[in-house]
A and B are shown apart, each in its own frame.
Chain A
Amino acid sequence: MSEAERLTRGSVLRGPTRCMTRERMRWYVDVLHSLEENDGTLHRDAPTNIHSGDEYARTQGLPGVIADGPISTNWLFGLLVDVFGPSALDSGRLSTKHIRPTLENMDVTTCLQVTDTEELADGRMRYTLDIWCEDGTQTKLTVGTAVVTAERLR
């Protein structure tokens, strides 16, 4: 039985814990800039925003750089693919809100809870989920919901 098939309403699943390192924050900053330039090379900005520059982040009342919110959203999307397989990419919905800053070297765990399940006419299952990222004290940093349609593997 797959991991997805073991999930019923109320089930909670905690995914991998990752450390939000400075390098991971920086990769995302550089990817955004490089995508915009679109010339096949990696572009690096001067460290002048809250995701790349400690000095600037402190002028904003933060203790240092914080992670760009979409990193956590992408990790949650990854959890859905890990649990429900490639069909999580076919159709569905993912909504998140970043409610607390994710600081450097914070341990971040991706989590989901099944709030509803529905068997579709074609035999596939639709899962409605609460999703979130939490730190090492289980304080939520990012919260949201998702709807995923998954193939039945039996």
Chain B
Amino acid sequence: MILFRRACPGGAGPDARLHYAFDSTSYERIEVGQVVAVSGEITRRYEKREREYIEMRIEMRAASDGRLLVRYDDTCLLRYKPGGKA
């Protein structure tokens, strides 16, 4: 949500956003109580067939030593309806 707010400061607009694709790679099990640090960035924003897409990468690391635990790439349509921009 923080990434979305930064990428689309005007809000979602009149047309709905939609999760389209999800890709996650796990590197090790995360135990209950483990302290983790999460970071994220918008990696790509583009138009395809009159729809605007946004891709983001989120990483979860062990707070103790920065070990990568999970990498998560997410693709969303910024507008479910074709045409226009978010």
Interface residues of A, Cβ cutoff 8 Å to B: 32, 36, 49-50, 56-57, 59-61, 68-70, 73, 86, 89-98, 144
Contacts and interface: CB of A to CB of B under 8 A. Distances in A.
Nearest to B81: A60
Interface string B8-27: 00001011101111111111
B50 to A, nearest CB: 14
A36 B16 CA distance: 20
Interface of B: 1-2, 12, 14-16, 18-30, 80-81
Per CB-CB distance, the 4 closest pairs between chain A and chain B, nearest first, are A69-B19, A95-B23, A50-B16, A97-B21
A92 B23 contact: no
A107 B23 CA distance: 24
Nearest to A50: B16
Nearest to A35: B1
Main DSSP-derived SS at the A contact region: mixed
B16 A56 contact: yes
A144 B80 CA distance: 21
A83 to B, nearest CB: 16
Contacts of B1: 32, 36
Given A60-B15, A60-B81, A61-B81, A96 B21 contact: yes
Nearest to A61: B81
Contact of B18 (A32, A50, A90, A144): A50
Nearest to A95: B23
